[in-house]
Amino acid sequence: MRLLYSLAAYLLAPLFAAVLLWRGNRRHFSERLGTGPRVPARGIWLHAASVGEVQAAAPLVRSLRERYPTIPVIVTTLTQTGRERVQALFGDTVHSRYLPLDLPGTVRRFFDRVDPRLAVIFETELWPNLYRECGRRRVPLILASARISPRSFPRYRRMAALFRQTLSRGIVVAAQGQDDAERFRSIGADPAHIHVTGNIKFDLSVPSGTLERGRALRERHAAGRPVWIAGSTHAGEEQQVLAAHRRLSSNALLILVPRHPNRFGEVADWLVREGVRFTRRSQETVCDAGTEVLLVDSLGELLDFYAAADVAFVGGSLVPVGGHNLLEPAALGLPVLTGPNYFNSESIARLLIERGAARVVQDGELAAAVAALLADGEARSRMGARGRAAIEENRGALARLLGLIAPLLS
């Protein structure tokens, strides 16, 4: 089965490479082929696919740097924005590079240069050739905060023979929940190596100075005005958000934060066509009383802008993307709104909804939900407090994960 997979990977690799180059991913492209500078000593390799996984992995990276200061940490990503986030968070304290294509030759070159003593893969990234090379070189491998959503489970079941072969190499599965653990068992993971550790995303910490920066942003751009934010929005979603904003009777400011940098210009052009009075964060223009929208076309500032708002809508959920991180605004004490498509973090969404910290808005309901919360400070405070409490009650996955890592590094 793995041979068939590798053959298909070889056939598709030129197409994948062409797409990456077409999207402008030329810098460090050789790393996709397994090359790159050698790491000076055997280190801990962590893979976090994109921005969301990098954010989730950040507490673990910091803990590993503190506990094992002499061991290098290598963080790989699939996306350019993920790599940029690694560099913004950790600078030169970690080695950042792209994950190689999952081909036998590129994987061998990658391992020759990185030579990890431990591998940690975040969430569900199943790469048969990478996993096989870990087994061949006797590199312990942990799937951290591992999950298989109900939506994707049938696809994994159809490829069970490949995954069974991949997962049968002594891989440690640190599952988010009991349901995830059962799904990993059913596709071939060794029950003796499956542990339920929880979701490391609950162990997030709000960076020092975030609240202060949020207050400063609000004073600069929206003094005396209600503010709501639509974070990590996607194509087809900004239209619904703007329609909701225009239905508000208050003189509110909308902070609009598209998910992907390559769409910043596209969204700005669309706002011009819609006749919206807006400013762009990148131009450092201060909003005045008539500004309707502040377009955040910069990277790494989402938390600061959440801290500047009264109400947060989290994108990727009014369109079938799966939703993004609801915990970040909840950790800042904001009431959280999400569309119905939150399947990427279903357990987190269900928890916050059940606790009364988040609300689901269907198509056309966003304006009413935002208006009600902007008008009711007590409701905002209740929802915010419930969100913070839910996060505090579910912390601990990081400590449990570090408990699995420590003996593998000994």
Q: Active-site positions? A: 53
For 21, 314, 376, the CA distances from 231, given in Å and listed in that order, are 28, 5, 21
Q: At what angle do helices 366-374 and 377-393 cross, to 10 degrees?
A: 100
Beta strands in 78-162 (DSSP E): 95-98, 118-122, 141-146
Q: Tokens 């990590």 — which residue?
A: 232
* Phi then psi dihedrals of residue 174, to 5 deg: -100, 90
**What is the SS3 assignment for 40?**
coil
Q: Are 217 and 304 in contact (CB under 8 A)?
A: yes
Beta strands in 73-140 (DSSP E): 73-77, 95-98, 118-122
Tokens of 65: 């740097």
Pairing of the two strands 95-98 and 278-280: unpaired
| Cβ neighbours of 13 (radius 10 Å) | 16
Q: No. of H helices and E strands in the chain?
A: 17, 14
| Cβ neighbours of 359 (radius 10 Å) | 17
Provide DSSP, 265-284. Answer: HHHHHHHHHTT--EEEGGGT
**Residue 263 burial by CB count (10 A; 0-12/13-18/19+): exposed, middle or buried?**
middle
Q: Are 239 and 360 in contact (CB under 8 A)?
A: no
**What is the SS3 assignment for 16?**
helix
Q: Are 311 and 373 in contact (CB under 8 A)?
A: yes
Beta strands in 34-171 (DSSP E): 44-47, 73-77, 95-98, 118-122, 141-146
Closest CA to 345 of 304, 369, 311, 316: 316
